Amino acid sequence: MSSDIGLIGLGTMGAALALNIAEKGFDIAVWNRTTSVTHDFAKGAGDLASRITSTESLEGLVAALSEPRAIILMVPAGDAVDAQIEALRPLMGPDDLIIDAGNANFHDTNRRAREATGPFLGIGVSGGEEGARHGPSIMGGGNRAHWDRVAHILEAISAKYEGTPCATWMGEEGAGHFVKAVHNGIEYADMQMIAEVYGILRDGMGMQAAEIGAVFDRWNEGPLRSYLIEISGKVAGAHDTVTNGPLLDVIVDAAGQKGTGRWTVIEAQHLAAPIPAIEAAVVARNLSSQRDARAAGEALFGAAPKELPAGALSETVLEQAMIAGKILCYAQGFAMISAASDAFGWALPLPDIARVWREGCIIRSDMLNDMAAALTDDPDRNLMLAPDFANLLKLNHDGLREVVAQGALYGLPVPALSSGLAYFDAMRTHRGTANMIQGQRDFFGLHGFARLDDGSTGQHGPWAQG
């Protein structure tokens, strides 16, 4: 029997994806570098075992597939992908397709697509293990005809939003991995904003973890309804059997990161695309891991007051801040995608990106459906200017300001929320302050400036004469 598709790499994500593929009715051949892992996987496949062919060599894997072949790589991003392609390509026919479904840096995917001696796709897969097993969000990149060859499989295994598959071709080469990187940047900012509000509830308002969990649970019934709010409620509500107290209270406050958020920020700088909430989130993760330095700072300067006066902030105001912060963060992410589309000659489909993020991925949220509608209406307009989101911002930006102000007064760090607020204020300021910067640049470097009154450019100040 020839299998419909192959998969290399039976780690957590690869194994889950393979079972998902089999469950959707496709025959799949699998291979892992360590054969015992393949055997254990096959043993654990239960009812799905009849659709799975375990192979013990790359040659065996290739031989098990119907032609033209398609093989998904689920190996760690980076050199392992190049090594796997190098080992696999000589065994494959000229029409056989390699699909890198790991969290690749999109520059690597661009390079791999250009160097490829046969069909190649780079696809971003979001949703963690649960998503991979039961329906991830899939952001595809590469040659459209190659995508079309496997689209029926990828759509079948993807999450569905009201029946619509969350699997979409985003563009050539690394477009899918680029969109996944921005997804992860937004993921970082969303998580950071939730962590900031958690800090206010804990340190500013003296709430216990379980009470905080209940706040998130309530928010999950309103406009903030999303996977990240939902799991934050569960994380805050979890019990630790060792201490017999909240688990959250014993988790070390140093965030890990595999680098995708950092890639997004680096790329945003190259593109000159402002994504301050995402940048703040990456910085906050970096700072979080400097625990010794933070302890030394606290010993030297003393802890900030933190405790807010009674009634200074309410659950409602914090919810408003989160709503405004979330809109501003997504607006930044979509604006960055738009900038990349122009810079890289991609036609990244912004409404489809919002649609593909509605289910399956980590940043899935009710708001994304409205974002898809707003971006369909006008993909070139900053999301914060779209009527529905402008209205939401009008209703909620005062709450954001209140939270940022109280955070500043009492030493409760809110970097992502305050970056969102600064972005909002900058984006509603027609007459900014960069005229001073232009004056300074002309003063020390004769860089020239444009005049507001007559529109003339290349002007210099009186300092130029002397």
For ligand 6PG, which is the closer residue by CB, 58 or 362? 362
Backbone phi, psi, residue 121, to 5° = -125, 145
Binding mask 85-104 for ligand 6PG (x = CB under 6 A): ------------------x-
Reply yes or no: is the peptide bond before residue 90 cis, omega within 30 of 0. no
Please select the residue that binds ligand 6PG; options are 68, 76, 128, 448, rule is CB under 6 A.
128
75 annotated among ligand-binding-site residues: yes
Contact range with ligand 6PG by CB under 6 A, out of 60-68, 123-131, 200-208, 336-344: 123-131
Report the SS3 class of residue 138.
strand
Contact range with ligand 6PG by CB under 6 A, out of 66-74, 122-130, 309-317, 443-451: 122-130
Contact range with ligand 6PG by CB under 6 A, out of 125-133, 143-151, 414-422, 455-463: 125-133
Q: Determine if 332 is a binding residue for ligand 6PG (CB under 6 A).
A: no
Nearest to 137 by CA among 157, 118, 107: 157
Q: Determine if 108 is a binding residue for ligand 6PG (CB under 6 A).
A: no
Asked if 358 contacts 364 with a C-beta cutoff of 8 angstroms, the reply is yes
- By CB under 6 A, what part of segment 228-257 binds ligand 6PG? 256-257
> Can you read off the two tokens belonging to residue 227?
């996977």
53 annotated among ligand-binding-site residues: no
Please select the residue that binds ligand 6PG; options are 55, 260, 418, 419, rule is CB under 6 A.
260
For Cα atoms 275, 281, 286, give the angle at the middle one, nearest 5 degrees. 125
Distances (CA, A) of 186 to 261, 325, 363: 8, 11, 7
* 326 is a catalytic site residue: no
Handedness of CA 276, 331, 215, 135 (dihedral sign): negative
CA distance 160 to 429: 40
For ligand 6PG, which is the closer residue by CB, 185 or 274? 185
Report the nearest approach of ligand 6PG to the CB of residue 148 (Å): 24
Binding mask 345-364 for ligand 6PG (x = CB under 6 A): ----------------xx--
CA distance 219 to 202: 17
Nearest to 419 by CA among 283, 288, 303: 283
For Cα atoms 74, 79, 81, give the angle at the middle one, nearest 5 degrees. 30
Report the nearest approach of ligand 6PG to the CB of residue 452 (Å): 44
358 annotated among ligand-binding-site residues: no
For ligand 6PG, which is the closer residue by CB, 174 or 399? 174
Q: Which amino acid is at 379?
A: P
43 annotated among ligand-binding-site residues: no
CA distance 439 to 463: 10
143 annotated among ligand-binding-site residues: no
> Can you read off the two tokens belonging to residue 296?
């030394």
CA distance 298 to 32: 48
Report the nearest approach of ligand 6PG to the CB of residue 441 (Å): 37
Report the nearest approach of ligand 6PG to the CB of residue 190 (Å): 11
For ligand 6PG, which is the closer residue by CB, 229 or 404? 229
Report the nearest approach of ligand 6PG to the CB of residue 333 (Å): 13
Report the nearest approach of ligand 6PG to the CB of residue 27 (Å): 26
Cβ-closest residue to ligand 6PG? 126
Point out the catalytic residue in the list 43, 67, 162, 180: 180
How many chain residues interact with ligand 6PG (CB under 6 A)? 13
103 annotated among ligand-binding-site residues: yes
285 annotated among ligand-binding-site residues: yes
Q: Determine if 184 is a binding residue for ligand 6PG (CB under 6 A).
A: yes
Asked if 135 contacts 359 with a C-beta cutoff of 8 angstroms, the reply is yes
Asked if 150 contacts 99 with a C-beta cutoff of 8 angstroms, the reply is yes
Please select the residue that binds ligand 6PG; options are 173, 187, 196, 267, rule is CB under 6 A.
187
* 187 is a catalytic site residue: yes
Q: Determine if 127 is a binding residue for ligand 6PG (CB under 6 A).
A: yes
Q: How many CB atoms lie within 10 A of CB 3?
A: 23
DSSP secondary structure, 335-383, as one string: HHHHHHHHHHT----HHHHHHHTSSSSTT-BTHHHHHHHHHHH-TTS-G
In this structure, what DSSP letter does residue 385 have? G
CA distance 401 to 102: 39
What are the residue numbers of the active site? 180, 187
Q: Residues forming the annotated binding site for NADP(+)?
A: 9-14, 32-34, 75-77, 103
Q: Residues forming the annotated binding site for substrate?
A: 103, 126-128, 183-184, 188, 258, 285, 441, 447
Residues in contact with ligand 6PG by the rule CB under 6 A? 103, 126-128, 184, 187, 256-258, 260-261, 361-362
